Amino acid sequence: MEGRVTLTNEGKDKLIEWIASGDTGASSKCLANAMCALPHDGSYPMDSGDFGRCLRLLDAVPELRGRLNAMRGINEYWNALIENWALLEACYREESGDKEYSQNTSKLMSKILRPIEDKDKNFVRLGPSCSLRFK
């Protein structure tokens, strides 16, 4: 995979600690796997809770942060998120610190992701805060 990260022993230890922490989700696991050239399912953060887990991964394993652009090309969702990452991160950190859910960040994410969702045949919106995405 282009953009592969070869972690130092310290980075590997930090990644193992992060995995064991339980503060993981589908999108943060995708982030970790894709950056380490491991199989992934393309899951992306859909709300501020997901985004926060991705940020905490990058905080836990700083070696990955510098390679965030390697996520470009995973899918349209990741492309849009990476394009707006600095804005999303600033909003999340300002609003929530380390809270699990941040309303303004989720709204900003929805604004970024909704145009892609609207074109995605595999995405079904069931209500204002309920959706399904088929793979």
Q: What is the pLDDT of residues 36-50, one digit of tens each?
A: 888 999 999 999 999
Cα–Cα distances in Å, from 106 out to 8, 18, 89? 34, 23, 11
Determine the Cα–Cα distance for residues 11 and 115; give it in Å rounded to an integer: 36
Summarize pLDDT for 8-34 with one digit per residue, the tens. Answer: 999 999 999 999 999 999 999 999 999
In a domain, 3, yes or no: no
Tally the domains of the chain: 1
CB 70 within 8 A of CB 2: yes
Determine the Cα–Cα distance for residues 66 and 60; give it in Å rounded to an integer: 13
In a domain, 1, yes or no: no
Question: DSSP label at 3?
Answer: T
Please tell me the predicted confidence (pLDDT) of residue 37: 85
With 70 as the cut, is the pLDDT of residue 121 above it?
yes
In a domain, 126, yes or no: yes
In a domain, 98, yes or no: yes
Question: pTM for the whole thing?
Answer: 0.89
CB 7 within 8 A of CB 19: no
**pLDDT (mean) for 55-74:** 93
Q: Which domain holds residue 104?
A: 9-133
In a domain, 2, yes or no: no
In a domain, 4, yes or no: no
